[in-house]
Amino acid sequence: MIMRSGQQLLLPASPVFIWCTLIAALLLDMLPLGRIPWMPEFLALVLVFWSVHQPLKVGIGIAFMFGLAIDVHQTSLLGQHAFSYTMLSFLAAMIQRRLLWFTVPLQALQVLPLFAAAHGAEIILRLLGGGVFPGWIVLLAPLAEALLWPVASVLLLVPQLRTPDRDENRPL
């Protein structure tokens, strides 16, 4: 793959690290903070990140599994988050090659419609299931997730930036 100028060569991501970050994001989403409509979904953010950077290791099946876990935890309509996370993972895999050509701030603009579509799907499914509309403040959640994209990119790529063995004479 041709890399854009200034992009660093990354080590492969450890499957243990990927699973630890997914479980940590799941636990963050399960914190008892109450129902805050504008609160970003950290699991959705991490799922999109790994679906873009490691599409062979984190895909639609894992997104569905974690979506069911969130549905059970929040006692929401079973399949609501599972559908939205599956859709999010699919859309992230679709734009994966194009997204990696952009800088991280521009990537945040590219993933904003994905997060908005996922939240829109959740709201539509909630309304079809007989739920109430959470209010227009719910539109801040995709914006918050897009603003957290650069932070997540930096934190989740740090273990891959190290060289396996330091050599002052080797350029990579």
- pLDDT (tens digit, 9 = 90+) per residue, 107-145? 999 999 999 999 999 999 999 988 888 888 988 999 999
Cα(104)–Cα(153) distance, integer angstroms:
7
Give the residue extent of every domain in the chain.
16-28+36-159
Q: Which long-range contacts (CB under 8 A, 24 or more apart) does 77-83 make?
A: 77/125, 77/126, 77/129, 77/131, 79/125, 80/122, 80/125, 80/126, 80/129, 81/122, 83/121, 83/125
The whole-number pLDDT of residue 46 equals 97
Q: What is the pTM of this model?
A: 0.87
User: Helix 42-53 and helix 140-161: axis angle, to 10°?
Assistant: 50
pLDDT single digits (tens) 12-45:
889 999 999 999 999 999 998 877 878 999 999 9
What is the per-residue pLDDT for 7? 64
Q: Of 86, 80, 78, which is closest to residue 62 (Cα–Cα)?
A: 86
Closest by Cα among 32, 126, 43, 19 to 79:
126
